């Protein structure tokens, strides 16, 4: 009987759950709150000389005011391509270009739009929770298979399942906290 088998299975599951939580954080970061945030545009794909490149590799970002995002391209030749990528994206903001930098002015969100954004945030958080629970189920199947094959005892299985449940609760709690923070951001006027 080998207790390290359960440790390996739980460590792998923790890593996968961490990735699911990180993904949920990045998904929530893309939801517009009425405040300027580089996360809204940094992953946009820009057609840079025939290659799709994430905007964060082509420009620097500054937020001089709460509702203003300034994008400073490293190569001034990419200005038009960056502006076009922003116009084609779904953020709903028209960029202004002065030949040196691109400015994005974020208008305040209407109450209805805020409610829509909260719904979207809840949906993304639920997708994250489902991903974590699916990882729990998969790990439980793996642990039960180890017990069936006689590689771990039923006591080790019980201990591992309790640890797995604790891991799941931690990760779901982290997603819930991220959602609560995002909802607070969205509802602050």
Over residues 138-156, the pLDDT tens digits come to 999 999 998 899 888 889 8
In the listed set 53, 85, 105, which residue is the last one of a domain according to the structure? 105
Which CATH number goes with the domain that contains 69? Answer: 3.30.1360.40
Domain that residue 76 falls in: 38-105
In this structure, the answer to whether residues 56 and 71 fall within a common structural domain is: yes
In the chain, the number of structural domains is 2
In this structure, the answer to whether residues 95 and 51 fall within a common structural domain is: yes
In this structure, the answer to whether residues 10 and 23 fall within a common structural domain is: yes
Residue 90 has pLDDT above 50, yes or no: yes
In this structure, the answer to whether residues 152 and 118 fall within a common structural domain is: yes
Q: How many CA atoms lie within 13 A of 126 on its CB side?
A: 6
Question: pLDDT band for position 1 (50/70/90)?
Answer: very low
In the listed set 105, 130, 163, which residue is the last one of a domain according to the structure? 105
Strand 102-105 versus strand 68-73 pairing type:
antiparallel
Which CATH number goes with the domain that contains 173? Answer: 1.10.132.20
For the whole model, what pTM was predicted? 0.71
Residue 3 has pLDDT above 70, yes or no: no
* Closest C-alpha to 54, from 71, 31, 36, 32: 71
In the listed set 105, 120, 139, which residue is the last one of a domain according to the structure? 105
User: What distance in Å separates the CA atoms of residue 165 and residue 4, rounded to the nearest whole number?
Assistant: 18
In this structure, the answer to whether residues 99 and 117 fall within a common structural domain is: no
In this structure, the answer to whether residues 115 and 181 fall within a common structural domain is: yes
In this structure, the answer to whether residues 11 and 50 fall within a common structural domain is: no
pLDDT in tens, 172-183: 999 999 999 999
Q: Are 130 and 171 in contact (CB under 8 A)?
A: no
In this structure, the answer to whether residues 119 and 181 fall within a common structural domain is: yes
Question: CA 111, 113, 115, 121 torsion: positive or negative?
Answer: negative
Residues pairing with 65 in the sheet: 68
pLDDT of residue 18: 95
């Amino acid at each position: 009987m080998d207790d390290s088998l359960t440790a390996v299975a739980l460590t792998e599951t923790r890593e996968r759950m961490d990735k699911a939580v990180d993904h949920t954080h990045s998904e929530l970061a893309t939801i517009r709150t009425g405040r300027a945030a580089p996360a809204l545009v940094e992953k946009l794909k820009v057609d840079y000389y025939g290659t799709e490149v994430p905007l964060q590799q082509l420009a620097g970002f500054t937020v001089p005011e709460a509702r203003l995002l300034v994008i400073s391209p490293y190569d001034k030749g990419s200005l038009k391509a960056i502006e076009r990528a922003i116009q084609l994206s779904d953020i709903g903001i028209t960029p202004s270009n002065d030949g040196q930098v691109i400015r994005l002015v974020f208008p305040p969100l209407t109450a209805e739009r805020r409610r829509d954004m909260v719904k979207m945030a809840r949906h993304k958080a639920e997708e994250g929770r489902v991903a974590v629970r699916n990882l729990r189920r998969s790990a439980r199947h793996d642990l039960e298979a180890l017990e069936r094959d006689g590689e771990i005892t039923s006591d080790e299985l019980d201990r591992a399942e309790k640890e797995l449940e604790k891991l799941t609760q931690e990760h779901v709690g982290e997603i819930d906290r991220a959602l609560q923070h995002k909802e607070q951001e969205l509802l602050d006027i």
